[in-house]
Structure 1
């Protein structure tokens, strides 16, 4: 079916008058918008369904979300026949999120499904927690994470509180695509809605404290600066810090106002230093020890601490996760809680230092595909056999314990502040603690390159780039021979030194390539599952013996990453 034919299907009474007028105008004016809005259907990627809001099958709107929710309702009835089915729904601060949340609730209640709907916007991890806490069959959150204001998204959680994974995700998608737009039931039944208010915040915060805090040292002497960057955590993190006994907390007031326009930042992404600029400025005034910021739906966190020169410096995701993981495992070991049946979770694009940390403390490090849904799957797969301690991925996500089955900034912030307070009380700092870890295990450093290619032609370019890297892998990177090529689409690992190929069937197929060189450099190539990008993750490492060497070693590793990028023409 051509794009035009697909668009004309929306020129019927199934769709509202405004939608029909927009499409007819595009057809009459031969607008490029028609092609981009209808050339495909939005797909579920690593973070669910995410896209620009607007008219069309390639956009987030009442009909594409209604179709997804109707398909989910059909699948829930199949999986839980003759049972009362409950679904929790939360939404972030984005434009239309609240309206989309109520619309999804209407579709579910029209299908006889009870809905637990948050009264106001709340963080994604609180939704994950609520699914299990309230014994729901599924959960939905309306969010586009850290994407620009024109985006929104839709993530589905299963009854374990984790995002859907195979086979449920594939089966739900089949149901979604089998739903015709005229089959969506939009006439909801408000009698089947239970409204969730601030009382749930207290239950969630208590769980964060129980799973994230280990020792009460120096909490009243730590200078904290926090920003919700206009997102949902204005409702949870300040309360959690206060309840945990952190007394010196300065808030970036301008950014504590929830807004889908994110008016004070170009991007509400704590991975980007600019998003935390106002918080860093405030820390300079208040003599802050640690700066913390979260993305709009409150699952990612950015942390800045004072470096060896006393200046505030944003840690990258791997550095943050290294510090948090090492500390937790050290606390578990001191408490005698490590028995050999514990594990931490990571992903294939995250630093390999987590293998080293796990080995040091005598736990397993399980690795999955990109996205926290795979860490959630690990927890479910090994429940009752091995104890999950913590998990993280390089894209500024971490979780402590299994009470939340997705990355969780609230619990992670409590943990980070405890570490900072403990370091300060002992005359040290978080940055020095990180260097001590590197002295113990080796200094790892990472770089990320995003190559953006938008629209249909962009998607084709990304496919071609993956094809070229797969068929013609580099033989040498930064002066070191490529020793191993891992192809997760083919599920093979090829050792180029002895030309032996082995099968990797412990991780599902995915369009990802990883190159390892003889000196330990790692390069991962993958298309983004939620954005029009192809991503290149570069990891390099070296030994370090003292804090005095840090700056020199960092320059060496940064230069090496530049050479890697040049060798790959990035």
Structure 2
């Protein structure tokens, strides 16, 4: 049964509020719209709000409810005419007169989920200092206004596409690319950009299907089998796949199949160092590979490590005027374009990189220069209510040597990370979605990674008993 108090039912997590089935209700959606308007009023920020939505069954209805709630609070709204990618809305907010944006999406979650993201006026995801304020204002009741605001509609994708084409010097003439929208909001946007740049495009799942074919619209290897087969058979030289709201990107190549997102971030950063007018730092999450660190060090640039969640990557990108940012789940951003993850523009950028020099060749050269890095993880059961205490209890328990290497540094940006003197590391952090703790490890071989995972598990287990 739906709670009378939306503050009891709505909690903003890593990337907005998400809920499944009957937990996602229109009254709760309206409460978020009212809270956003009240937050902006309290901060004395005048201006309209942009509202977008993905292709899920009830996303358009939810977007209309958000618009109605915000306009009832006396503020104007521009509503997207069609479902659109989250990065399109974020870029629209950043470059327009908007003081914020609301996006109805559950991103890569299964079709029974939906949610709402709040985007700040600079195009970055809202951080806890903002979402905590929104949660405190979840009354669901708009204060009386002298006059309501107005809702207008616009096609956000047109201006974005023109910008993307001018931002990326991409000559894809004759390049055979396979593109999979996973029935999401990248359809008619990412594929059109690639074709405008000259690509010979083969499309997969580029029709709207609110069920996403019955599975989660997540750009991972097991959800990209048909596209991978097309690349394997030589019908196309590159495969690209977006998630449901097109803020993430997966890449498939002939030699490597589905490319490790950790490696892809490094390829992207190295490409940008060669092509941007000015060099810059790179931002990555604590669980993302340190391969990109080696490229940054050679270029004389710094690496900024953040907690997991692109909101933290985006914040650091702005703070350090970074060239690029990324995370191991396939979210990448380019600072001079948008300090947020964008699977649409990145499809065009990486296609341009591939046209200049195949991505497989780039990776071969990258690993030859900087060495091979292997990463893996394990999961251990841990009740949600004990996670924080277990992580805290690790402090002071780490020996001087772990898996026969000296401990160089212990970091607590997000979880508990032990960096060793050979640049390998072990990370213990709580899962954000399951009652588990994750043990990550990175080294130069799978054998060494297994040793580090064993060491991390040995260190952790006494604290779980």
1:49 aligns with 2:5: no
Contact 1:338 1:363 in 2 (8 A): no
How many angstroms does 1:430 deviate by? 1.6
1:194 aligns with 2:147: no
Equivalent positions of 1:17-32 (< 5 A) are none
Q: Kindly tell me: are residues 209 and 348 of structure 1, through their superposed partners in 2, closer, same or farther at Cα, counting changes over 3 Å?
A: farther
Who is 1:550 aligned against?
none
Who is 1:362 aligned against?
300
Who is 1:207 aligned against?
163
Equivalent positions of 1:218-257 (< 5 A) are 219-246=172-199, 248-252=200-204, 255-257=205-207
Contact 1:45 1:530 in 2 (8 A): no
How many angstroms does 1:435 deviate by? 2.1
1:95 aligns with 2:39: no
Q: Kindly tell me: are residues 406 and 50 of structure 1, through their superposed partners in 2, closer, same or farther at Cα, counting changes over 3 Å?
A: same
Q: Secondary structure at the match of 2:177?
A: strand
Gaps of 5+ in 2: 459-465
How many angstroms does 1:482 deviate by? 3.9
Who is 2:35 aligned against?
71
Matching residue within 86, 90, 106 for 1:124: 86
1:259 aligns with 2:209: yes
How many angstroms does 1:464 deviate by? 5.4
1:353 aligns with 2:291: yes
How many angstroms does 1:69 deviate by? 2.2
Q: Kindly tell me: are residues 282 and 331 of structure 1, through their superposed partners in 2, closer, same or farther at Cα, counting changes over 3 Å?
A: same
Q: In 1, Cα distance between the equivalents of 2:190 and 2:253?
A: 18
Q: Could you report, residue by residue, the CA deviation over 1:165-216 in whole angstroms, capped at 9, with x for unpaired residues?
A: 364333333333xx2x4x25799x997111022xx32321222233333x64
Contact 1:103 1:186 in 2 (8 A): no
Who is 1:507 aligned against?
none
Contact 1:47 1:529 in 2 (8 A): no
Number of equivalent positions: 457
Q: In 2, Cα distance between the equivalents of 1:437 and 1:460?
A: 42
Q: Secondary structure at the match of 2:137?
A: helix
How many angstroms does 1:230 deviate by? 1.4
Who is 1:499 aligned against?
none
1:440 aligns with 2:404: no
Whose radius of gyration is greater, 1 or 2? 1
Q: In 2, Cα distance between the equivalents of 1:352 and 1:8?
A: 45
Contact 1:269 1:275 in 2 (8 A): yes
Contact 1:94 1:149 in 2 (8 A): yes
Question: How well do the aligned residues superpose, as a CA RMSD in angstroms?
Answer: 2.9
Matching residue within 205, 229, 243 for 1:295: 243
Return 219-228 or 358-367, whichever deviates more: 358-367
Q: Kindly tell me: are residues 464 and 245 of structure 1, through their superposed partners in 2, closer, same or farther at Cα, counting changes over 3 Å?
A: same
How many angstroms does 1:276 deviate by? 0.6
Equivalent positions of 1:442-481 (< 5 A) are 442-449=371-378, 458-460=383-385, 462-463=387-388, 465-467=390-392, 469-470=394-395, 472-473=397-398, 477-481=402-406
Q: Secondary structure at the match of 2:224?
A: helix
How many angstroms does 1:568 deviate by? 3.6
Return 102-111 or 526-535, whichever deviates more: 526-535
Matching residue within 92, 96, 99 for 1:134: 96
Q: Secondary structure at the match of 2:49?
A: strand
Contact 1:88 1:131 in 2 (8 A): yes
Q: Could you report, residue by residue, the CA deviation over 1:202-238 in whole angstroms, capped at 9, with x for unpaired residues?
A: 321222233333x64xx22422111011111002011
Q: Kindly tell me: are residues 63 and 451 of structure 1, through their superposed partners in 2, closer, same or farther at Cα, counting changes over 3 Å?
A: farther
Who is 1:492 aligned against?
none
How many angstroms does 1:313 deviate by? 1.1
Q: In 2, Cα distance between the equivalents of 1:113 and 1:530?
A: 35
Q: Secondary structure at the match of 1:234?
A: coil
Q: In 2, Cα distance between the equivalents of 1:8 and 1:137?
A: 31
Contact 1:397 1:408 in 2 (8 A): yes
Gaps of 5+ in 1: 1-6, 16-37, 424-428, 489-510, 542-556
How many angstroms does 1:471 deviate by? 6.5
Q: In 1, Cα distance between the equivalents of 2:144 and 2:230?
A: 47
Q: Kindly tell me: are residues 470 and 207 of structure 1, through their superposed partners in 2, closer, same or farther at Cα, counting changes over 3 Å?
A: farther
1:304 aligns with 2:265: no
1:371 aligns with 2:371: no
Q: In 2, Cα distance between the equivalents of 1:129 and 1:368?
A: 23
Q: Kindly tell me: are residues 314 and 419 of structure 1, through their superposed partners in 2, closer, same or farther at Cα, counting changes over 3 Å?
A: same
Who is 2:110 aligned against?
148
Q: Kindly tell me: are residues 291 and 191 of structure 1, through their superposed partners in 2, closer, same or farther at Cα, counting changes over 3 Å?
A: same
Q: In 2, Cα distance between the equivalents of 1:153 and 1:396?
A: 20
Q: Secondary structure at the match of 1:350?
A: coil
Q: In 1, Cα distance between the equivalents of 2:62 and 2:189?
A: 22
Who is 1:326 aligned against?
270
Q: Kindly tell me: are residues 129 and 139 of structure 1, through their superposed partners in 2, closer, same or farther at Cα, counting changes over 3 Å?
A: same
Q: In 1, Cα distance between the equivalents of 2:31 and 2:132?
A: 15
Who is 2:217 aligned against?
268
How many angstroms does 1:465 deviate by? 4.5
Contact 1:236 1:410 in 2 (8 A): yes
Equivalent positions of 1:491-502 (< 5 A) are none
Q: Kindly tell me: are residues 148 and 186 of structure 1, through their superposed partners in 2, closer, same or farther at Cα, counting changes over 3 Å?
A: farther
Q: Could you report, residue by residue, the CA deviation over 1:277-310 in whole angstroms, capped at 9, with x for unpaired residues?
A: 0111233445221111111010011111122xxx
Q: Kindly tell me: are residues 154 and 250 of structure 1, through their superposed partners in 2, closer, same or farther at Cα, counting changes over 3 Å?
A: same
